[in-house]
């Protein structure tokens, strides 16, 4: 469940996908009702596609973007959905009459990649999802690492520039405020306002987009747009440094980079991140042993992972 779209899968116990449904999220500021109804209806429809009934499901798992309490199923703060303290788990259990487990969106994406994707069979892995914000997930000793209070993985709020741009979390200079798609859009707009030539405004008008989405970035790169190239390079340098910091701390087997840009640009997005990271590893020996790769499951990573989380908790 994201601020832009909602993707549901039904899987069997091995995680084999039996049906998929996707639609745009009906975000209505301050009112969670339409989205809760929408999630319930998507669950019903995806079951139908898989020729099942909701009652046949063992459980439902949901990854929501934001601060989520997996124990209570409450979404405490989800800026993209405009939510504070929404008892999503409870409301959906009432509507669907099946156990519902809520988790953070990148946590479930990490689980998806670990079970079936780029981090399969890894004993240690890090997931970094770059989108509107930047989220993270950790696998240590072969298991999802939630930390002492269940808050581990806030990789996007690593401060990289003191007194840098303000972040949504209230601090300054977090990697999210420097290298998320939102931050890239801010930098591109600033460059255009300062008089630099860019095709971004034109592409957005042509495609009817109000935000600089991954597809807008892809089109601008195809047109060799100097502003976008520069802004993207800067974001990749910062992300590469972030990966190096994390690898220097945890020495994982694999770092999975996901989100719209990784999906669309694949190694054009991940390659420069990997290069910077390798340069900044403290232990240079066998750099390539740390795999730094794009997500394998793409936009399904979260939904497939949410199914695995639901199965493990039910
Ligand atoms: Zn922050």
**pLDDT tens-place string over residues 32-60:** 999 999 999 999 999 999 999 999 999 99
- Give the distance (Å) from ligand 1 centre to CA of residue 155: 9
Mean local confidence (pLDDT), 247-269? 97
- Give the distance (Å) from ligand 1 centre to CA of residue 250: 21
Q: Band the pLDDT of 3: cuts 50, 70, 90.
A: confident
The predicted-structure confidence for 107-153, as pLDDT tens digits, reads as follows: 999 999 999 999 999 999 999 999 989 999 999 999 999 999 888 99
- Give the distance (Å) from ligand 1 centre to CA of residue 178: 10
- Give the distance (Å) from ligand 1 centre to CA of residue 176: 6
- Give the distance (Å) from ligand 1 centre to CA of residue 179: 11
Separation of alpha carbons 10 and 2, rounded Å:
18
Q: What pLDDT shows up at residue 30?
A: 76
Q: What pLDDT shows up at residue 151?
A: 86
Other C-beta atoms lying within 10 Å of the C-beta of residue 19: 16
Cα 172 versus chain centre, distance: 21
**69 φ, ψ (degrees, to nearest 5):** -105, 105
**270 φ, ψ (degrees, to nearest 5):** -80, -35
Whole-model pTM above 0.85?
A: yes
Q: What pLDDT shows up at residue 164?
A: 98
- Give the distance (Å) from ligand 1 centre to CA of residue 173: 7
User: What Rg do the C-alpha atoms of the chain give, in angstroms?
Assistant: 19
Mean local confidence (pLDDT), 232-244? 98
- Give the distance (Å) from ligand 1 centre to CA of residue 159: 7
Cα 47 versus chain centre, distance: 24
- Give the distance (Å) from ligand 1 centre to CA of residue 175: 7
- Give the distance (Å) from ligand 1 centre to CA of residue 169: 4
- Give the distance (Å) from ligand 1 centre to CA of residue 177: 7
Q: How many helices (H) and strands (E) does the chain have?
A: 11, 12
Q: Band the pLDDT of 4: cuts 50, 70, 90.
A: confident
Residue recorded with tokens 């959905």: 81
Q: What pLDDT shows up at residue 234?
A: 98
Q: Which among 21, 58, 47 is positioned nearest to 307, based on CA atoms? A: 58
Highest-scoring range by mean pLDDT, 63-67, 77-81, 219-223: 219-223
- The residue ranges of DSSP E strands in the chain, in sequence order, are 5-11, 17-24, 60-64, 67-69, 74-78, 83-86, 100-104, 125-130, 134-140, 143-144, 254-258, 291-294
By the 8 A CB rule, do 124 and 251 touch? yes
Q: What pLDDT shows up at residue 29?
A: 76
**161 φ, ψ (degrees, to nearest 5):** -135, 115
Separation of alpha carbons 145 and 142, rounded Å:
9
- Give the distance (Å) from ligand 1 centre to CA of residue 157: 4
By the 8 A CB rule, do 26 and 265 touch? no
Q: What pLDDT shows up at residue 147?
A: 93
- Give the distance (Å) from ligand 1 centre to CA of residue 247: 20
The predicted-structure confidence for 149-181, as pLDDT tens digits, reads as follows: 888 999 999 999 999 999 988 999 999 999 999
Residue recorded with tokens 């794009």: 294
Q: Band the pLDDT of 189: cuts 50, 70, 90.
A: very high
- The token duo for 65 is 């973007």
């Amino acid at each position: 469940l994201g601020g832009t779209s909602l993707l549901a899968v039904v899987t069997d116990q091995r995680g084999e996908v039996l049906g998929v449904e996707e639609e745009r999220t009906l975000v209505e500021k301050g009112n969670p009702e339409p989205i809760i109804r929408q999630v319930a209806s998507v669950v019903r429809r995806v079951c139908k596609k898989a020729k099942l009934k909701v009652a046949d499901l063992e459980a439902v798992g949901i990854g929501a973007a934001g601060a989520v309490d997996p124990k209570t199923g409450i979404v405490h703060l989800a800026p993209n959905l405009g939510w504070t303290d929404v008892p999503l788990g409870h409301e959906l259990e009432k509507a669907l009459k099946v156990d519902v487990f809520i988790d953070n969106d990148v946590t479930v994406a990490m689980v998806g990649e670990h079970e079936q994707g780029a981090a399969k069979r890894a004993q240690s892995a890090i997931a970094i999802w770059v989108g509107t914000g930047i989220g993270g997930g950790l696998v240590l000793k072969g298991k999802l690492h939630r930390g002492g209070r269940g808050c581990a993985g806030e990789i996007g709020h690593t401060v990289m520039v003191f007194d840098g741009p303000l972040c949504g979390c209230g601090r300054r200079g977090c990697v999210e405020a420097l290298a998320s798609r939102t931050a890239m859009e801010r930098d591109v707009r600033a460059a255009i306002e300062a008089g630099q030539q860019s095709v971004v405004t034109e592409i957005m008008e042509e495609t009817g987009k109000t935000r600089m989405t991954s597809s807008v970035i892809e089109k601008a790169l195809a047109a060799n747009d100097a502003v976008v190239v520069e802004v993207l390079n800067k974001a990749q340098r910062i992300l590469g440094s972030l990966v190096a910091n994390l690898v220097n701390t945890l020495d994982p087997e694999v770092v999975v980079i996901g989100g719209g840009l990784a999906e669309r640009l694949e190694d054009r997005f991940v390659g420069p991140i990997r290069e910077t990271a390798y340069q900044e590893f403290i232990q240079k020996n066998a750099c390539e042993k740390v795999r730094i790769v794009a997500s394998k499951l793409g936009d399904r990573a979260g939904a497939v992972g949410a199914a695995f989380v639901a199965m493990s908790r039910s």
